[in-house]
A and B are shown apart, each in its own frame.
Chain A
């Protein structure tokens, strides 16, 4: 009797370990569907399109690049290096700091020999969770299914010299021997030029635009306080990353302040508070926003899409797009943002898309896009 309990424990442990090794998806995150085994050589056979996708993305998730690449069809027009770079990112892009947290495949159509799957990819990134949607084509090769991977268009920049009239602002503090107040530098003068409050399914949203009216760059933050009928503050929030914080002279940025779970009916007043401080800044890089169009995506959502074109000679590691949307009276009705997960190389383009909620899509008549950028080694 004394030995029975230890024996049961040992057997149960071994059984659980074996289950973990040959069982599916031990390394996947919270959202993904079962994605193959945790060990080399123990991946379930891709005898269905779903299993092929699970194997492929499971290996991508675990960064088993060789195994993942084996899951591609011979008809794929991508080499292994480009395939890896497509998933891992490069040049300090957002993708290179992100991890595939999980995935949700959904069949669009399946025949005996080919299939089309739509996969929602859940990424964990330094700027929060992001969802990407990809359509993957699969074909049967013998008794296994493999993904046909399209050619990965990676930006390639030829060697060149790009002349730049370098323009930046530095801030010099006065010395200790300065006479008090003899020459001050006031904080930049910024102004909120529009504001609107709307209610959404998630709560209340305060949005608008702010302009730097000064001749020097400004670091701007916008805070909003919701006030009830009795004059008490209900909640106070800041625009956080829904704003381009560094504004050059006469530059306009949209801002959005979210108040989750707050009903706008309870709000009597909104107190806005814009704060501006003087910061060193550079006028470069200049990023053009081309081919901006409102359209519907494959899932029927209204999105604003376009391309970012880096006109300068320096790499923009993490481009960030903030778009403001207006109704036919020119009133701002929504502000949306999105990060581009690929780096924007000099003289190259990257596509972007930002979604407009269904409730707002019908009102939108016009829009304006501002590009915020983060570059490694710069504050």
Chain B
């Protein structure tokens, strides 16, 4: 990169020194990977220098003939400095833009999201041409979120400076959601897992057994009715004359259950994370 700038500086300086050199008429636009032709004026031999992203080339040319730049040399989008030197030097800048979109880079965040969460999902897509140049010309990218065959969201977004993005709220049903970003016949797919949110209406039932008390939750769901996943910790707390007894029990098959070896009258409460449930009073052994 440093070498590139150094060469640019040298050639610009040379161009200024020989400002009386012949004129170069560059095409208005060139496309990455396509051949380009540059007409020259004058006659005799000259030297052509081309300096650009990923290329630094020197060749002999005949003034008055067209200069042919091969598409292979113009694969990278960006500014190319073209200098022609004979007795004097002339320079001009050729801007090469990205070719038509060939692939989409699509970043989706997060990969896992609780249901019914506002603006919790975001995605950004970048169109690239076949030479991995970012396509900065405006393109319309279609974002689609779907679970199974049903569509949750469909949104068309124009790219700005090569990027298009969206924000969306998560759906109400837990499960896998497929998110597709498409541009014409190009598409990129990502998977988003919607998971149950915090438990809602956490309720316990229980009773005394010969070894103490057994308490269990009713099937634990979030506020949109999704079952809270197995393994989620539910904390049971029994307060009684013997002191406090706590059990951190995981939900198994939708229900959390705990045994507490306590004999006196107890008040049992339940919590999961920052969510608190009901209280249960269980009398002492007769």
Seen from chain A, the residues whose Cβ lies within 8 Å of a Cβ on chain B are 165, 167, 169, 179, 181-186, 189, 193, 211-217, 248-252, 283, 286-293, 306, 309, 311, 349, 367-371
Given known contacts A215-B195, A286-B248, A369-B246, A186 and B233 CB-to-CB distance under 8 angstroms:
no
| A250–B108 CB distance below 8 A | no
| A252–B273 CB distance below 8 A | yes
Identify which of B50-58, B149-157, B256-264 touches chain A.
Answer: B256-264
| B231–A289 CB distance below 8 A | no
For the A-B complex with A249-B233, A251-B273 known, give 8 more contacts whose Cβ atoms are closer than 8 Å: A182-B191, A183-B111, A184-B108, A184-B111, A252-B273, A286-B247, A292-B244, A311-B258
Chain B, 177-200, contact with A by CB distance < 8 Å: what is the 0/1 string?
000000000000111000110110
Q: Complex Cα distance A205/B198, Å?
A: 31
| B111–A251 CB distance below 8 A | no
Q: How far is the CB of B30 from chain A (nearest CB, A)?
A: 30
Q: Is B253 an interface residue (CB 8 A)?
A: yes
Given known contacts A248-B232, A249-B231, A370-B248, A292 and B243 CB-to-CB distance under 8 angstroms:
yes
Q: Is B274 an interface residue (CB 8 A)?
A: yes
Q: How far is the CB of A3 from chain B (nearest CB, A)?
A: 77
Residues on B with C-beta less than 8 A from A186 are 109-112
Taking CB atoms and an 8 Å cut-off, the chain B residues in 231-269 that contact chain A are 231-235, 242-250, 252-253, 258-262
| A288–B258 CB distance below 8 A | yes
Q: Complex Cα distance A94/B205, Å?
A: 38
Q: How far is the CB of B131 from chain A (nearest CB, A)?
A: 18
Q: Complex Cα distance A208/B260, Å?
A: 27
Residue of A nearest to B272 (CB): A250
| A293–B244 CB distance below 8 A | yes
Q: Complex Cα distance A291/B243, Å?
A: 5
Residues on B with C-beta less than 8 A from A288 are 245-247, 258-261
Q: Complex Cα distance A137/B21, Å?
A: 111
Q: Is B126 an interface residue (CB 8 A)?
A: no
Residues on A with C-beta less than 8 A from B106 are 181
| A289–B196 CB distance below 8 A | no
Q: Is B46 an interface residue (CB 8 A)?
A: no
Q: Complex Cα distance A86/B2, Å?
A: 73
Q: How far is the CB of A330 from chain B (nearest CB, A)?
A: 12
Residues on B with C-beta less than 8 A from A370 are 248
B190: contacting residue among A167, A182, A212, CB under 8 A? A182
| B112–A185 CB distance below 8 A | yes
| B248–A167 CB distance below 8 A | no
Residue of B nearest to A209 (CB): B274
Residues on B with C-beta less than 8 A from A215 are 112, 195-196, 229, 231-232
Q: How far is the CB of A251 from chain B (nearest CB, A)?
A: 4
Chain B, 104-129, contact with A by CB distance < 8 Å: what is the 0/1 string?
00111111100000000000000000
Residue of A nearest to B253 (CB): A165
Residue of B nearest to A367 (CB): B244
Given known contacts A181-B106, A249-B229, A290-B262, A283 and B250 CB-to-CB distance under 8 angstroms:
yes
Q: How far is the CB of A344 from chain B (nearest CB, A)?
A: 14
Residue of B nearest to A251 (CB): B233
Residue of A nearest to B247 (CB): A288
Seen from chain B, the residues whose Cβ lies within 8 Å of a Cβ on chain A are 106-112, 189-191, 195-196, 198-199, 229-235, 242-250, 252-253, 258-262, 272-275
Given known contacts A213-B273, A249-B233, A250-B233, A183 and B190 CB-to-CB distance under 8 angstroms:
yes
Given known contacts A288-B260, A293-B243, A167 and B231 CB-to-CB distance under 8 angstroms:
yes
Q: Complex Cα distance A185/B107, Å?
A: 13
Q: Complex Cα distance A283/B232, Å?
A: 9
Residues on A with C-beta less than 8 A from B109 are 186
Q: How far is the CB of A370 from chain B (nearest CB, A)?
A: 7
Q: Complex Cα distance A249/B114, Å?
A: 13
| B247–A311 CB distance below 8 A | yes
Q: Complex Cα distance A206/B67, Å?
A: 72
Q: How far is the CB of A305 from chain B (nearest CB, A)?
A: 9
| A182–B189 CB distance below 8 A | yes
Q: Complex Cα distance A179/B108, Å?
A: 14
Residues on A with C-beta less than 8 A from B234 are 250
Residues on A with C-beta less than 8 A from B273 are 211-213, 250-252
| A368–B246 CB distance below 8 A | yes
| A290–B245 CB distance below 8 A | yes
Q: Complex Cα distance A215/B258, Å?
A: 21
| B261–A290 CB distance below 8 A | yes
Residue of B nearest to A214 (CB): B112
Residues on A with C-beta less than 8 A from B190 are 181-184
Q: How far is the CB of A304 from chain B (nearest CB, A)?
A: 9
A184, A185, A248 — which one has the most chain B CB atoms within 10 A of its CB?
A184
Q: How far is the CB of B212 from chain A (nearest CB, A)?
A: 9
Residue of B nearest to A180 (CB): B105
A291: contacting residue among B198, B199, B233, B245, CB under 8 A? B245
Residue of B nearest to A166 (CB): B252
B232: contacting residue among A165, A250, A368, CB under 8 A? A250
Q: How far is the CB of A320 from chain B (nearest CB, A)?
A: 14
Q: Complex Cα distance A167/B190, Å?
A: 28
Q: Complex Cα distance A309/B253, Å?
A: 23
Q: How far is the CB of B160 from chain A (nearest CB, A)?
A: 22
Residues on B with C-beta less than 8 A from A193 are 274
B110, B235, B245, B249 — which one has the most chain A CB atoms within 10 A of its CB?
B245
Residues on A with C-beta less than 8 A from B230 are 167, 283
Residues on B with C-beta less than 8 A from A292 are 243-246
